[in-house]
Structure 1
Amino acid sequence: MSGQARGRSRRGRRTDVDDWLAGVARDASAAAGDVPVELLGDYLPLLADAAATGRRPKRAELEAVEELGRRAAELGVSAGSAVQLYLSASWRLWRELPAVARSDDSEVVRDAAETVLRVVTDAVANLADGYNTARRQMVRREETLRRELVDDLLRGDADVGGMVERAEPFGLDLARPHQVALAAPHQRLPDVDAATSSLERTVLDRLGDRDVLVATKDGLVVVLAPGEPEALGRTRAVSDLGALMHSELERLPGGRPWQVAVGRSYPGSYGIARSYEEAREALTMASRLNLDTPVIRADQLLVYRVLVRDQPAIADLVTSVLGPLRRARGGAEPLLATLEAYFATGGVATEAARRLHLSVRAVTYRLSRIRALTGYDPADPAHRFTLHATVLGARLLGWPDRELDPTSG
C-alpha cells in the first residue's frame, strides 16, 4: 500500500472515531436532559485513549475538565446534570470500545476497565471542583452586587437609569411602590447574619422572591418589600410587614430584644431612600423616647417629627418650662422621668409608681415639686399638654444630658 493510501486510511479511521465519539456525546447529552455537548470538551477522546493505551490523564487535561465544570455552573446547569452527562458518556463509550466489544480476553477487559474507571474518577472529581469553585465565586459576586445595590437604593443614588438596570436581575421593579423596614437588636448579638438568613426565608416564603430584598446595614436587618397592601397577604398578621418580621425574629434564640421600624410606602427609587430614612428616624426617636413598642410605624411618629422640625423653638420651650427642674436635689432627670411615666400611664400616679419602682407617696411628692418649680401642674388639663409636649421635646433633643441653645438654628 502506498503512503498516500495509508494516509487516506488513517484519516478515514480518524473520521470514523470522531463520528463515533460525537454520537456518544449526543446520546449522553440527551440522556442528561439536553445538557450542552460542549461541556464534555475532550473528555471522550481522553477516555478512549486511556482505554486503548492505559495512559492516565495529564494535569493540563484534568484542569481543562475543571474549567468545563466552571463553565457548567456559569451556564446554569445543575451539578447533578453535569455529573450525569459525564457518567452517561462514560458507560456509553465503554459499551462500544473495541477493546471491550471485540475481545475475549478477560485480562484485557479488566485492565481497560480499571484504567477507564480511574480516568472517570479523576475527571468527575475535577469537574465537581471546578463547578463548586465557580458557584462560590458566583455567590460571592451576587452578594457583593446585592450589597452595593441595597446601599445605593437606601442612599438614593442619582443614576436612576443605572439603578433600574441593576435592580432588574434581583426582581425589583423600581416603578412600583416599596417600603423599607429595619430590625434593630436592643443589644449587640453575636450572629446577625443568622437572623438575616432566617428572616429572608420567611419573608420570601410569604411575599415571593420578586420586589423583595433582605440585607444588613450598619448592624440593622433591612427588608425591602412591595408597598401594596395586597402584596403582603390578606390576613392582618401578614399584611403588616413589621409584625411579620418581629414574629419571626422573636422565635430565634435571644430574639426577644428586637425592635422593628417600618417606613411608609413610596414609588420609585427615591421612594425607597425616603422610606428607609423614615424607618431609621423612627428607630432613633423610639430610642430617645424610651419606647419599648416591638413594632413602630413611621406614620405613628409624625407628631414627634413636627416637634423637632423647629429645633430652636422646642429648645426654647424645654429650657423655659423645664429649666427650673435643674435646681431640684438630684437634678432634673428624676423629675423628668416621673413626668414621662405619669403621662405614659394616663396620669395615674399608682401605675406610674409601679413603673418607676417607687412608692405612690414618692411620685406625688415629685409631682408637687415639679408644680412648685415650674408653675405647671401635671394634674391640670390646661397645663398637661404643654408639659407633655415639652417632655417629649426634651427626650428628642437629649435634655438634660445635653445643653440646649435656643438661639442656634
Structure 2
Amino acid sequence: MPIDPRAGGARGPGSVSEVDVAGLTGAAVAQSGGLDAALLGDYVSALTRVSATRTALNRTELEGYRRLGGEAADAGVPLPALIDLYLSVTWRLWRYLPAVTAAVPTLALVQAVGETVMRAAGEAVTAVSDGHQMARQAVIRRQEAARREFIDDLLTGSSDVSGLLARAAGFGLDLTGPHTVVLARASTAFTEGSAQLNRVESALSGRGSPPALVASKDGLLVVVGTVNAADAVGRIVAAMRGVLGPRATTMKGGAWQIGVGRVRPGPVGVLLAYEEARDALTLAGLLRMDTPVVAAVDLLVYRVLLRDRTAIADLILTTLGPLADARGGAAILLGTLDAYLDAGGNTAETARRLHLSVRAVTYRLARIREFTGLEPADTGVRITLHVAVLGARLLDWPATALPTPS
C-alpha cells in the first residue's frame, strides 16, 4: 500500500516508488492555495532522478519550467504562490529520496544528495520565475501599448466614438458622462517614465476620488478626469499641485503651470477639453501670465481675438505699426505701452514696474503719442490700444512677422 507522505511516526518513510505522488503533490497544492498541479510538470520525477544520479537538471527540463512559469503568469497565478508550490514539493519529497531511504545512509551521501537536490530546486525555481517574469512583462507591454493607443486616439479624435466608449471602460472611464482634461507643463518634459505620473495616479486613486486616466503626451502631463461632483476639477488640480510641489515665480527654471479645459460629455468633449487646456497654456505663455493654474474659460476673450488673425494683424499694423520707425524698433515702446495699460494708466506705477524714472516713462509715452497719433491717457482710445497690445502679445509682434491683411 503506498505511503501517505503526510503521515509520519513509527512506520518511517518509504521509497519514492512507494509514495503516493498524487497525495504528495496534492498536499503541496493545498499549501500553495490550490494551484493546478499541472504547473509542476515532471518536477517530482526530475528531482528523483537528479538525487539518484547526482546530476543537474538538463536544458529541456529547465525550458519546460520556464514555459510552465509563463503559463502560470498568463493564468494570473502570483509568482510567490508558484514558488511556494515548487518548494513545498521539494521538502515533502526529500524523505522519500533514494539516498535518504537507504538501509544505512552515510552522512557524506546525504550531504551530496542534499546539495544536488537544493541546486536542482534552485534552478527549477529560477526557471519558473524567469518564465513568469517574461510573460508578465509581455502582458504589461501589451497593456501599455493598448493604453498608449487609446490615449492617442482619444486626444486626436482619430477613432470612432463607439469604439472609444467601449475601450474606455477597460481603463475605468465612462466617457458618456462629463469629463475634463487638465494638463501640466514644466521645464522638463513629462514622459511615460516620469515618476510624477505614478504619483498623480496614486493621489487620484483614493476613496471618493473621481476616476481618472493619467498619461503624458507631447511633453505634457495629462489627466482625463471624471467630473462626478462640483469639486471634482478642484480635487484633480490639487492632486497635481501636490505632486508637482513648490513652483518658482516665473516659468523659468523648474517651474510648472497647469491648464484646465472645460467640462463636457463624451469622447468629443474630452478632445475639446484637451485642446482648450493646451490653448490655455499656450495663451498663458504668450500673455506672460505667471499664475500657476490657467482655466480655458477665463481666456475666452483671447481665443476670440485669435479667431480672426488677419483682422487682429490689421489692427496691430494700423494702430501700433508706426512704432517700428522708432530708434531701436517697436519693442521698447510697445513694452512701455503694455505696462502703462496694465497699470491702469498710472505713470508712477508703470515706472516702478519697468524700473524706470517717471520722467523716462513720460518721455516714452510722448514718443508713442508722436508715432501713433493716439493719446494713451485718453480713455476713449485706451480700449483700442489695449486690444492692439494684447493682439501683439498673442501674435508675438514685433519679433514675428504679422499675416498680411487682405
- Aligned counterpart, 1:28: 28
1:293 aligns to 2:291 (yes or no): yes
Q: 1:31 to 1:189 in 2, by over 3 A?
A: closer
Question: Contact between 2:191 and 2:219, CA under 8 Å: does it hold in 1?
Answer: no
Map 1:11-90; keep pairs closer than 5 Å. Answer: 20-90=20-90
C-alpha displacement of 1:392: 0.9
Q: 1:61 to 1:268 in 2, by over 3 A?
A: same
Q: 1:297: Cα distance to partner?
A: 0.7
Which whole-Å CA distance do the structure 2 matches of 1:38 and 1:358 have between them? 84
Structure 1 runs not aligned, ≥5 long = 1-15, 233-237
SS of aligned partner of 1:229: coil
Amino acid at match of 1:300: D
SS at match of 1:336: helix
Give yes or no for contact 1:48–1:97 (8 Å, CA) kept in 2: yes
1:274 matches 2:275? no
The alpha carbon displacement at 1:134 in A equals 2.3
Is the CA contact (8 Å cut-off) linking 1:183 and 1:260 kept in structure 2? yes
- Pick closer, same or farther for the CA change 1:382–1:55 going to 2, 3 Å: same
Task: Indicate whether 1:248 and 2:246 are aligned.
Answer: no
Q: Does residue 401 of the first structure (1) align with residue 402 of the second (2)?
A: no
1:342 alignment partner, one of 322, 340, 350: 340
Q: Would the alpha carbon gap of residues 70 and 363 (structure 1) be closer, same or farther in structure 2, given more than 3 Å must change?
A: farther
CA RMSD of aligned residues (A): 2.9
- For residue 22 of structure 1, report the CA deviation from its aligned partner: 2.5
Query: Measured at CA, do residues 339 and 199 of structure 1 come closer, stay the same or move farther in structure 2, by a change above 3 Å?
Result: farther
Q: CA deviation at 1:18?
A: 10
1:177 maps to: 178
**1: CA distance, partners of 2:164 / 2:192:** 30
Total equivalences in the alignment: 387
The 3-state SS of whatever aligns with 1:213 is strand
Aligned 8 A contact 2:19 2:96 in 1: no
SS at match of 1:34: coil
Give the AA of the match of 1:130.
G
The SS at the match of 2:170 is helix
Q: Which amino acid aligns with 2:220?
A: L
- How big is each residue's C-alpha offset from its partner over 1:88-118, in whole Å with a ceiling of 9 and x where there is no partner? 1211222444653564424454443332212
Of 24-33 and 179-188, more deviation after overlay is shown by 179-188
**1:243 CA displacement:** 4.0
Whole-Å Cα distance in 1 between the matches of residues 321 and 404 of structure 2?
12
Residue of structure 2 aligned with 1:283, choices 281, 284, 287: 281
Mapped to 1, the partners of 2:355 and 2:133 lie a distance apart of 59
Residues 47 and 349 of structure 1: CA distance in aligned 2, closer, same or farther (over 3 Å): farther
Equivalent-residue separation in structure 2 for 1:49 and 1:300 (angstroms): 77
The alpha-carbon distance between structure 1 residues 77 and 38, as it changes in their structure 2 partners (threshold 3 A), is same
**Which residue is equivalent to 1:116?**
117
What are the equivalent positions in structure 2 for 1:365-376 lying under 5 Å apart? 365-376=363-374
Three-state SS of the structure 2 residue aligned to 1:196 is helix
| Offset of residue 218 of structure 1 | 1.5
- The code of the aligned residue for 1:279 comes to A
2:8 aligns to what?
A: none
Mapped to 2, the partners of 1:56 and 1:171 lie a distance apart of: 48
Cα distance, 1:206 vs. partner? 7.6
Between stretches 258-267 and 348-357, larger displacement belongs to 348-357
Letter in 1 for 2:125: V
- In the alignment, residue 242 of structure 1 is paired with which amino acid? V
Q: Structure 1 residues 83 and 18 mapped into 2: Cα distance closer, same or farther (>3 Å)?
A: farther
Cα deviation for residue 164 of structure 1 reads 2.9
What amino acid sits opposite 2:271 in the alignment? A
Cα distance in 2 between the residues matched to 1:192 and 1:285 = 28
Distance (Å, rounded) in 1 between the aligned partners of 2:151 and 2:337: 41
- 1:315-394 superposed matches below 5 A: 315-394=313-392
Matched with 1:6 is none
Q: Residue 239 of structure 1: which of 234, 239, 243 is its match?
A: 234
1:314 maps to 312
Residue 194 of structure 2 corresponds to which residue in structure 1? 193
1:294-332: CA deviation from partner (whole Å, max 9, x where unpaired): 111111111111111122222222111112222222221
Scaled by the length of structure 1, the TM-score of the pair is 0.84
**TM-score, normalising length: structure 2:** 0.85
Q: CA deviation at 1:123?
A: 0.5
**Counterparts of 1:231 and 1:31 in 2: how far apart (Å)?**
48
Task: Tell me how far apart the structure 1 counterparts of residues 54 and 347 of structure 2 sit (CA, whole Å).
Answer: 94
| SS of the residue 1:170 aligns to | coil
* Separation in 1, partners of 2:267, 2:190: 31
**Residues 81, 190 of structure 1: alpha-carbon distance in 2 compared, 3 angstrom cutoff:** closer
With over 3 angstroms needed to count, the CA separation of the structure-2 counterparts of 1:129 and 1:190, relative to structure 1, is closer
Distance 2:25 2:164 in 1: 43
Say whether residues 1:220 and 2:215 are aligned partners. no
Is the CA contact 1:182–1:220 (under 8 Å) kept in the aligned structure 2?
A: yes
User: Shift of residue 87 of structure 1?
Assistant: 0.9
Contact 1:29/1:35, CA 8 A, preserved across alignment: yes
SS of the aligned residue for 1:61 comes to helix
1:12 corresponds to: none
2:156 is matched with 155
Relative distance call for 1:163 and 1:300 in structure 2 (3 A) is same
Structure with bigger helix share is: 1
Distance in 2 of aligned mates of 1:294 and 1:206: 27
In the TM superposition, what is the alpha-carbon distance from 1:231 to its structure 2 partner? 7.0
